[in-house]
Structure 1
Amino acid sequence: MVRMARPRNRDYDELRRALIDAAGRVLSTEGPAALSTRRVAQLAGVSTTAVYSLFGDKGGLVREMFLAGFARLADAFAKIPATEDPVVDLRALGRAYRENALTNPHLYELMFGRPVPEFRPDEAASAEIRPTFDALVAAVDRCIDEGAFAPADPYEVAVGLNGLVHGMCSLELRGALGDRTEADRLWDRALETMLKGLSA
């Protein structure tokens, strides 16, 4: 194992991401019982000192994995260009959500499930991830305001849409939607059905 001192500033982000991704791989492939600072450090090729320096302990590492998953989702949302069509933009959020899940499957279950039973996001973490859902509510609100959707509570509509895309992502990550071509077809059908039911 390579011994490593506290990372230099220019190495910080790269090492932090490597450790988070290594921890996610351990959790998703070996299970929560295998998740330890020693195992994560081993996969990342560093000493446990680096893990402790960046995250404090295993609990801090899990918390940062959780936040990293949502930070990557927020980054994916931020890259979506705005158009004049609110429904097009809402669909783009759904596609970004899906692609983020497929790109980061090792973090997805921690974001929305309880693979580490002892971990529960605290109030600060919950507040930090809230903007990703707020972006969906705002997109729905715009669809309603511009007459693309029938009048409704944007929060309630957003909850339904979130449930749909989360369920589809969970199925796809488990291989239940077939290959990519079949999954694309099923995604299009599910979104089309949902949005048709919301239309004005």
Structure 2
Amino acid sequence: MARPRTRDYGELRRELVDAGGRLLAAAGPSALTTRRVAEQAGVSTTAVYNLFGDKGGLVREMFLAGFERLAAAFAAVPRTDDAVADLLALGHAYRANALANPHLFQLMFGRPVPEFQPDAETGALIRPTFDTLVAAAARCVQEGAFAPAEPYDLAVRLNALAHGLASLELRGALGDAEEARRHWDGAFDSMVRGLAGS
């Protein structure tokens, strides 16, 4: 008789996070129960409680996991001699992460679980993803690629643009993948030309 498969903490955490995200995206917050998440992952509810404490802890981990994956996508973007290309590469990494994790995207940037509100500690944990955009925008200004501006403000605008495009693409409002990429490229091109003052 085959022995049951064992999973380490990281693997089980990811499976439960993804199971919770899929339930939330498919059926809304009422479907997000510890029992259903455990069933989806093929474990007992005890595993959920041991890892996350309760449903609130699970939602927090789902939220943090989304940003951990975004941070990893940003970290994978190589630094080149072209500051603007590097900034735009972060925008495309944002898109790739949204497409790879659509079940976590709404929780990261919306309020699909009304009772979940990130606290200050949670906010501090996700801050580095935005700081990456600020640093990339600052480099564009410092190297003269963009007209003088506050890097934080530029990062807010880039983040808003990427978020809007990703939200539309995940809803199927930008057409197929090729058409969606054309919209992303066109929007980024317009933004860059505007920031360069041309």
Relative to the length of structure 1, the TM-score reads 0.95
Which of these residues, 69, 94, 99, is aligned with residue 97 of structure 1? 94
Q: How does 1:118-133 map to 2 (within 5 A)?
A: 118-133=115-130
Alignment partner of 1:149 is 2:146 = yes
Which secondary structure state, in structure 2, belongs to the residue aligned with residue 87 of structure 1?
Answer: helix
Aligned residue in 2 for 1:109: 106
1:82 to 2:53 alignment: no
Q: CA-to-partner distance for each residue in 1:1-44, whole Å, 9 max, x for gaps?
A: xxx9xx97x61110110000000000000110110000000000
Which residue is equivalent to 2:196? 199
Which residue number in structure 1 is paired with residue 55 of structure 2? 58
* CA deviation after TM superposition for structure 1 residue 157, in Å: 1.0
Q: Which AA in structure 2 matches 1:124?
A: E
Aligned partner of 1:67 in structure 2 is 64
RMSD: 1.3
Selected match of 2:39 from 38, 42, 47:
42
Which residue is equivalent to 1:14? 11
Instruction: Tell me how far apart the structure 2 counterparts of residues 56 and 142 of structure 1 sit (CA, whole Å).
Output: 42
Q: How far did residue 54 of structure 1 move?
A: 0.4
> What one-letter code is carried by the residue in structure 2 that aligns with 1:60?
G
| Runs of 4+ off more than 6 Å | none
What letter matches 1:184 in structure 2? Answer: R
Aligned counterparts of 2:21 and 2:181: Cα–Cα separation in 1: 26
Match of 1:167 in 2: 164
Unaligned stretches of 5+ residues in structure 1 = none
Give aligned-pair identity as a percent. Answer: 69
The normalised TM-score by structure 2 is: 0.96
Tell me how far apart the structure 2 counterparts of residues 12 and 158 of structure 1 sit (CA, whole Å).
35
Q: Write the distance in 2 (CA, Å) between the matches of 1:82 and 1:90.
A: 9
Whole-Å Cα distance in 2 between the matches of residues 167 and 144 of structure 1? 24
